[in-house]
Every structure is written in C-alpha cells, then in structure tokens.
Amino acid sequence: MKCDYCGNEAFYYQRYSNKHICKECFKKDIERRVKKVLGRKIIKNNVKIGIGISGGKDSLVMAHILKKLFKHIPNAKLICFFVDEGIKDFRETAKFYVEDFCKKNKLKLKIIKFKDEIGYTLDEIVKNNYLKELNIGKPCSFCGVVRRYLLNKYALKERCDYLAIGHNLDDFCQTIIMNYIEGNIKNIIQFGKEIDDDKFVKRIKPLKLIPEDEVKIYADINKIEYQKDPCPYSSISYRHKIKEIIKILEEEKPGIKFSILKGYEKLLKYIEFKEDIKKCKICSYPCSGEICKVCLWLKKLEQLNK
Ligand code: SF4
Ligand code: ZN
Ligand code: ZN
C-alpha cells in the first residue's frame, strides 16, 4: 500500500481519516498537530515551558516534540518536572526512563517527591487508610490533585510561562464523558477554561489532537523508551472503565473521539461562567474556598497524627 500523501511505502492505516501513511508523513502529521494546538502565542522567543514528565509514553513523546519545536526558537527554555508519588516499584522504573530520556535529550530535570512535600508517599496514604479518613474514594483522586498542585508550585518557582501536560485525545474524551455522566457541570466548565491568576501557571496540552494509539506509534518509530506497566492503582479507577467504553465506540465509529472533543469545545462557547477565584489562606494557591484542597487534606492528616 502506498502513502496517500507522498507515494512512499505506507506503514499505517489511519481509520478515522481513511488514509494510508508512511512513517515520515506520520511523524510530520503528529508534529504539525502539536504545532497547531500551541500556535504562535506559545511558540515564541524567550518563552519558558515546564514539562510534566512521568516516564509514560505521553509525556516523553510530548517532551520529544517540544524539544524539536523549540530547538530553533531564540532563548526558549524547557524544564522537566517529575513527580515521585512514592508508588513502590512503579515510580522507580518510571524514574529510570525519565532520567535516561532527559540525559539523552539534554533536558533539565527537577524531581519532586510526595514524601518531601507532604510528608507521606502515596503508598503510605493508602496503606494507613488515610483516604477513608479524608473522605476520598480512590487513590487517583488524592494523587491527581496533589500532583497538579506540586507541578504548579515548581513551575511557579522556576518562573515558567506555561506548564505542559501530556494529555492525549483519549484523556480529554475520558474526562469530558466522565463529567457528563456524573452531571459535574462545574468540572466540565473548569476543565475547558483557563484560570487567570498570577499564582497559577497556564497549562498547555500539546497532545490534545493525538489519539493514544498514535502517541504509542510515534514513540515506537522514534525509538523513545518509556514505562509500559500501568500504575498499580489505575485499574481500579473509574476512568479505566470509561476508557474501555470509548474504545468500543471508536471501533464502531472511527473519529468519534474527535467528535467528542469538538462537541465539547462548541458547548464551552455557549457557557458564560465567572467564578470568584480566591487565594488559599495558607499557600495562596487559587481556589474557590478559603483554603485549598491540598492544605485542607494536609491539616486533617496532621490532626490524625496528633
Ligand atoms: Fe496517581 Fe492514579 Fe495516576 Fe497512579 S493512576 S499515578 S494513583 S493518578
Ligand atoms: Zn508519506
Ligand atoms: Zn493551600
């Protein structure tokens, strides 16, 4: 089969576009989509980008493409942040891939540990039954919030203009559908709108238009080595079930993931929403109450150990 773009030997059939593609055109197409998502507002001189890097395929592919895109941009800086939640075996393996990747790509790396920052590893939080005490259902609900908080903290410290997160198209769809199903209107809106606050580093999601399986293909053809085992806590997550449902839908109707995202972005345009953003009295992180979620949890954990 020939590539529909250049006529060379194709290696991949893209079902949603009904095109056969060769390796070179595939790479170019993925990088073009990342460029489109970022735009000239972000790809510019003197910009500093923090990259949340986990060792999985998404964040490493994202870092690889960002490195390529910013290579010739004068005075643009990239710095990687790796959050070590303290998940036995899993995070040590991830760290190995991240350190190796950053070394090979000459990227600055900062390691941030849950243990140093909040006094506990995620394993300790789970093992000591603290999630129940904090009224949190799943480890991911705790882990995700604390990780986002710490990434912001260090991106601020490093004076980054943006914080890049490796969410691919599938991640977007899962979040959108989860919030629809739960009727979580506030989250639906917040997910799509940017927080404008000097204590909040604007997030960018360069892989927004790349389906997960194409991130994997991009990693493989570029020989990017990454951690393949899933987090031991991920299989019990609700997100995992939603992922399976979207997979079935995509198989029956190729391109449905792009429709979910497009429909959601259309919807956002019709929603007028202004939230009164306050600053956490303890750490100044933007939040809707007096104290942010992380500080609240830390206070409760402190009381539990008195
Ligand atoms: Fe944390 Fe859940 Fe991700 Fe594991 S799967 S790293 S617990 S958010
Ligand atoms: Zn081609
Ligand atoms: Zn706080």
What tens digit of pLDDT does each residue of 141-192 get? 999 999 999 999 999 999 999 999 999 999 999 999 999 999 988 888 888 7
In a domain, 9, yes or no: no
Residues 184 and 286 in one domain: no
Residues 131 and 178 in one domain: yes
Q: What is the Cα–Cα distance from 100 to 227, expressed in whole angstroms?
A: 12
* pLDDT tens digit sequence for 76-125: 999 999 999 999 999 999 999 999 999 999 999 999 999 999 999 999 99
Residues 231 and 300 in one domain: no
In a domain, 248, yes or no: yes
Residue 187's contacts (CB-CB under 8 Å, 6 or more residues apart) are: 179
* pLDDT tens digit sequence for 232-257: 988 667 888 899 999 999 999 999 99
Share of the chain above pLDDT 70, in %: 99
Which residues have any ligand 1 atom within 6 Å of their CB? 85, 139-140, 143-144, 231, 233-234
Instruction: Point out the ligand 1 atom lying closest to the alpha carbon of residue 143.
Output: 1
Residues 50 and 76 in one domain: yes
- Containing structural domain, residue 215: 42-273
In a domain, 88, yes or no: yes
Residues 291 and 248 in one domain: no
- CATH number of the domain enclosing 47: 3.40.50.620
Residues 135 and 205 in one domain: yes
Residues 233 and 126 in one domain: yes
In a domain, 10, yes or no: no
Instruction: Point out the ligand 1 atom lying closest to the alpha carbon of residue 140.
Output: 2
Token reading at 147: 């990780």
In a domain, 5, yes or no: no
Considering every ligand atom shown, identify the ligand nearest to the alpha carbon of residue 283 and give its number. Answer: 3
- Counting the structural domains of the chain, the total is 2
Residue 150's contacts (CB-CB under 8 Å, 6 or more residues apart) are: 83, 112, 114, 117
Cα–ligand 1 centroid distance for 94 (angstroms)? 13
Whose CA is closest to atom 7 on ligand 1?
140
In a domain, 1, yes or no: no
Residues 181 and 292 in one domain: no
What's the Cα-to-Cα distance from 176 to each of 155, 237, 257, 268, rounded to whole Å? 26, 16, 11, 12
